[in-house]
Amino acid sequence: MGYIVVSCDNLPSSIGHQIANEVAMASTFDPQAVFEAAQAHGVDGIMTLGTDQPVLTAAIVATKLGLPSLIGVETAQAVTDKRVMKQRFTAHDLPTVPYQIFDPNKDQLYTTLTYPVVVKPVDSQGQRGIFQLATPGDILAQASQVLTFSRAQEFLIETYYPNDEVTVSGWVNAGKAHLLTLTDRISFRSTDQLGICLSHEWPSRYTVEKGDELAELTQRIVTAFNIQNGPIYFQFLIGHDGIQINEIACRIGGAFESQFIPRLTGFDITRNHIQAALGKKLAKNQRLTLDAYDFRQANTALSVQLFFANPCTICALTPLASVLACPGVIDAGYHLEVGKTIHAVDNATARVGYCIVEAANKQILESRLAKLYAVLYVLDENGQNQLIHRPLEVASL
């Protein structure tokens, strides 16, 4: 696009540092350090995608420097701090499961909630520090472990709601929400790996049954949180009491939405986000695409596979060229490499890799996934395949 990019992160090994034009060594959790870096480099815009907490940092720095910002600092705080987020849900009568906030400095009773409960840090992501617990005593016993993932030193306690999870990705233009994709979020069902995602599936099984209701609820959230422009990434739980809001974010999703949304919709969400961060309005053809697009009219099937492995040391991986040669594969890649020791899967950072697969319909898609997993392997020291992926629904056509 012709822009000079400055990557900002406090880790020298960050992938972004390897490909950016310039590098700033500052933590994205430290608004003052990022402000000083942005000022030193004379940037014209600041943005993040795929990550929750730096959304607030970007909004703070943009405001201090007088740069364009898709959302204000107050909105950014509300979508990155689960305490504020839950309060906003309640204040605007938006459906969410009952909750309490755990504060280690206060004596509180946790007997008013229905058990089991889910505990999660108020300011983290990637399923870090999330546990399903059976009793108030379990909460106290697990508290110190949960708090290791929180800078705020508080965490959320929610009544566990048995559910199927769906994700809405979209774009807000002048306060109007445009849904781009509604996907099923398939996760581990183990309580030790709660919410860790194995795949995103398009179209969602709930598109017909719940699509209109989810679209209306998405707009209500956008209005309640004063989201004026930019990407949205909302997670909903569907269970016996209907739809409950899990979490919301003002960012592009981290499961390769930047790749599959343009392919499915014609709306180039990453390019538009970059342009918006520089204060540029949507191009006319992209505005027309938003106005004409209907997420309910899916004419293809697509799956983003996020695969893991059992504990082992990786001794061999399927050559990437062989993965990319599988039918329907749009893109694939590894996050870990040969020689890496894998421990038990306890959050999303344990992913070994990903693969995006497309087909004309769901049946063909499942057949293609079966062919993919016939060639994909993560071999341990004994030559055993330790790959973990979501269950396949159809073995072959």
Closest CA to 62 of 77, 72, 53: 72
- The DSSP symbol for 207 reads H
Same domain, 178 and 269: yes
- Residues 6+ away with beta carbon under 8 Å from 183: 166, 167, 169, 200, 201, 202, 203, 204
Are 222 and 333 contained in the same domain?
no
Residue 396: its pLDDT value, please?
46
* 3-state SS class at 137: helix
Determine, yes or no, domain membership for 351: yes
Is the same domain home to 324 and 282? no
User: CB atoms < 10 A from the CB of 68, how many?
Assistant: 17
150 and 168 together in one domain: no
In a domain, 343, yes or no: yes
Domain coverage including residue 373: 301-388
145 and 183 assigned to the same domain = no
Predicted confidence at residue 193, as pLDDT, reads 61
Question: Are 73 and 103 in the same domain?
Answer: no
Q: What pLDDT is stored for residue 190 in this prediction?
A: 67
For residue 367, what is the domain's CATH number? 3.30.470.20
90 within some domain: no
Same domain, 274 and 351: no
Count of helices and strands (H, E) across the chain: 12, 19
In this predicted structure, what is the pLDDT of residue 397?
Answer: 45
Average pLDDT per block of 10 residues along the chain, 397 residues long: 97 94 96 98 95 94 97 96 94 96 78 88 71 87 83 85 96 97 89 79 97 98 97 97 96 95 97 97 96 94 96 97 98 96 82 97 96 97 96 66
pTM equals 0.93
Domain assignment present for residue 84? The answer is: no
For the chain, how many structural domains are there in total? 4
Q: Could you tell me if residue 86 is inside a domain?
A: no
pLDDT at 191: 64
Residues 269 and 195 placed together within one structural domain of the fold: yes
- Domain presence at residue 230: yes
Do both 220 and 255 map to the same domain? Answer: yes
Q: Which of 78, 107, 126 is the last residue of a domain?
A: 78
Q: For residue 151, what pLDDT is reported?
A: 76
E strands, the chain, are 6-8, 22-24, 99-102, 117-121, 131-133, 155-159, 164-173, 176-187, 197-202, 230-239, 242-249, 301-309, 312-313, 316-317, 329-334, 341-342, 353-359, 378-379, 387-388
Look at strands 230-239 and 312-313 and give their pairing: unpaired
Q: For residue 107, count CB atoms less than 10 angstroms from its CB and return exposed for 0-12, middle for 13-18, buried for 19 or more.
A: exposed
Domain closes at, from 272, 292, 312: 292
Looking at the fold, whether 284 and 223 belong to one and the same domain comes out as yes
- Domain C-terminal end among 159, 189, 208: 159
Residues 169, 274 within the same domain: yes
In a domain, 211, yes or no: yes
Residues 344 and 327 in one domain: yes
